[in-house]
């Protein structure tokens, strides 16, 4: 039994800021829709699929980086923060997309990559041009000798620049030198980037690796990780004490939030992979930090009722007073939920996600049950996998093209897709599932519509979170009471249900059914019940 003595106390969901009641849909632009036959998704492709997103019922579109880039890390190596890479289109394409997003009542969130640039960015080209008399030398992190800090993609995080005889720091690839956020000129330049896009009308930013932006100013060695063993990435050899989550980062996040708040109805989202207590600090003192520090704890937890209840309960209790919760089940860096827990349980995961309080983020393809696609060694694109092959670093399997129909290449492209499609793309696609009343796509639409029509699911109190005989249960209280009962096992279970009406079930054919007393839940079945 979890005692969750907390109420969001925000009134009806319709009175909340848009981002508090939103379902955010992440688009990985290379893989969503190709409009010109080159095998890579683009801005016109996203534009062509906006009506699908409206029909799905989501509120906002978050687009992974589309800036000019050499694509060493597929856009996370930015060469120009105020442009559009030709692979994706031109600035007028973006302007049209933004206009059409807003015309349909949706919001557009961009990825902001502040920790590092491309080594081809003009700032870095100038920084490495000389050691002295160089206005941008201190825009990056240079040292005469490396310490033991390691790259998130394996190996040392320091690269020798032979012409100048110093090492520069890179948290990821050597083609991604880290900016020096202790330099006020860097902060000013990057804040100008934010203003550029905000003045265009974007509705907010997801900030990449927010917790890495500041490094120890004494460059102390990280302590060894006593849990390291063969088979783990070399990045796990040391604990990231001095090159991550430094206390000074919070002042930058607070200033970033203040800039965002100069513009009305915008949102600041932080990518943060940290333990719960540390994650909560990114809401900032008096909630002046990120509006939404991304909550990845469900995404990473074991799929059992006890583990889920622990994660949900611990997170909800840990929220600072007045902080707004958020939940994530998938993204472009993590295995797809249907592969992680199975297609049957992916339906239960969807019901869990859409009945929890706060802001929700879903990843493209989750709504049709896409799974990870096996990538042969010769097909690997991801530099993380290429740097340390065979230990599970690769992110290509969850980045494969969206499956739209039964045509060649699943309607994604008329060319050769940049990553292969799954063997099940002829059945796991939008066109097939739109015609199937029992599909997971139908379930997603019902759940999103349910959330929109029942504000209690967005902002009502969450309580009575408990596990009974391997069944996860909780109740949402607001203007009404809704009980959620989830069978996360592979067995048929009998539960004691209250007198209620089924709002939606994962098996769908039980919608509208009246239940009371002993009720049978099939394996992987969940019910959302309106108490009567």
Closest CA to 347 of 447, 455, 417, 473: 447
Could you tell me the two tokens for 497? 């249900």
Q: DSSP character for 516?
A: E
Distant-in-sequence, close-in-space partners of 388: CB < 8 Å, separation ≥ 6 = 153, 154, 233, 234
Question: Does the annotation count 59 as an active-site position?
Answer: no
What 3 state SS string does 430-459 have? Answer: HHHHHCCCCCHHHHHHHHHHHHHHCCHHHH
Q: DSSP character for 18?
A: G
Q: How far apart are CA 386 and CA 154, in angstroms?
A: 10
Say which of 262, 423, 468, 492 is annotated catalytic: 262
Q: DSSP character for 478?
A: S
How large is the C-alpha radius of gyration of the chain?
Answer: 23
- Specify whether the CB–CB gap between 308 and 337 falls below 8 A: no
Cβ-count burial of 442 within 10 angstroms (0-12 exposed, 13-18 middle, 19+ buried)?
middle
Neighbouring CB atoms inside 10 A of 311's CB total 19
Q: What angle do CA 296, 360, 382 make, to 5 degrees?
A: 50
Write out the DSSP string of 159-201: EEETTTTEEEE-SS-TTSPBB-TTSHHHHHHHHHHHHHHHHHT
405-to-17, 47, 303 alpha-carbon distances in Å: 36, 18, 31
Closest CA to 164 of 148, 197, 186, 140: 140
- Specify whether the CB–CB gap between 157 and 192 falls below 8 A: no
β-partners of residue 521 are: 493
Question: Does the annotation count 481 as an active-site position?
Answer: no
Say which of 93, 119, 208, 382 is annotated catalytic: 208
Q: How far apart are CA 48 and CA 260, in angstroms?
A: 29
Could you tell me the two tokens for 358? 């706060």
Residues with active-site annotation: 208, 262
């Amino acid at each position: 039994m979890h005692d969750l003595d907390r109420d969001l106390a925000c009134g009806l969901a319709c009175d909340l800021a848009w981002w508090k009641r939103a379902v955010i849909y992440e688009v990985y632009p290379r893989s969503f829709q190709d409009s010109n036959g080159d095998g890579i998704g683009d801005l016109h492709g996203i534009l062509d699929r906006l009506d699908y997103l409206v029909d799905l019922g989501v509120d906002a579109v978050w687009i992974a980086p589309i800036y000019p880039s050499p694509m060493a890390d597929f856009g996370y190596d930015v060469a120009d923060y105020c442009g559009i890479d030709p692979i994706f289109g031109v600035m007028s394409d973006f302007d049209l997309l933004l206009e059409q997003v807003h015309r349909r009542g949706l919001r557009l969130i961009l990825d902001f990559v502040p920790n590092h640039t491309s080594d081809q960015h003009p700032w870095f080209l100038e920084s490495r041009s000389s050691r002295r008399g160089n206005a941008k030398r201190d825009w990056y992190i240079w040292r005469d000798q490396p310490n033991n800090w390691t790259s998130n993609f394996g190996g040392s995080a320091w690269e020798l620049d032979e012409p100048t005889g110093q090492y520069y720091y890179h948290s990821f690839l050597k083609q991604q030198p880290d900016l020096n956020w202790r330099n006020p000129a860097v902060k000013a330049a990057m804040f100008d980037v934010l203003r550029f896009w905000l003045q265009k009308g974007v509705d907010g930013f997801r900030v990449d690796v927010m917790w890495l932006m500041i490094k120890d100013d004494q460059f102390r060695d990280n302590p060894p990780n006593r849990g390291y063993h063969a088979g783990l990435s070399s990045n796990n050899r040391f604990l990231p004490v001095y090159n991550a989550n430094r206390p000074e980062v919070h002042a930058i996040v607070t200033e970033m939030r203040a800039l965002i708040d100069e513009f009305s109805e915008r949102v600041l989202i932080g990518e943060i992979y940290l333990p719960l207590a540390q994650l909560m600090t990114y809401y900032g003192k008096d909630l002046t930090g990120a509006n939404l520090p991304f909550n990845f704890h469900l995404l990473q937890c074991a799929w059992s009722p006890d583990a889920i209840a622990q994660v949900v309960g611990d997170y909800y209790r840990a929220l600072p007073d007045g902080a707004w919760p958020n939940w994530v089940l998938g993204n472009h860096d993590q295995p797809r939920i249907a592969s992680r827990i199975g297609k049957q349980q992916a339906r239960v995961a969807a019901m869990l996600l859409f009945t929890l309080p706060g802001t929700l983020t879903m990843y493209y393809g989750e709504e049709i049950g896409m799974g990870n696609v096996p990538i042969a060694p010769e097909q690997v694109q991801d530099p993380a996998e290429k740097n340390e092959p065979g230990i599970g670093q690769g992110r290509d399997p969850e980045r494969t093209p969206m499956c739209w129909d039964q045509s060649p290449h699943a309607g994604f492209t008329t060319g050769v897709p940049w990553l292969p499609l799954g063997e099940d793309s002829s059945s796991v696609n939008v066109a097939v599932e739109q015609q199937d009343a029992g599909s997971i796509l139908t379930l997603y639409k019902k759940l999103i519509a349910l959330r929109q029509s029942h504000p209690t699911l967005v902002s009502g109190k969450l309580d009575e979170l408990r596990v009974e005989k391997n069944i996860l249960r909780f109740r949402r209280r607001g203007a009404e009471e809704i009980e959620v009962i989830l069978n996360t096992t592979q067995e048929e279970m009998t539960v004691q249900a209250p007198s209620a009406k089924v709002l939606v079930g994962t098996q769908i054919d039980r919608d509208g059914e009246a239940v009371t007393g002993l009720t049978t839940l099939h394996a992987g079945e969940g019910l959302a019940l309106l108490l009567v």
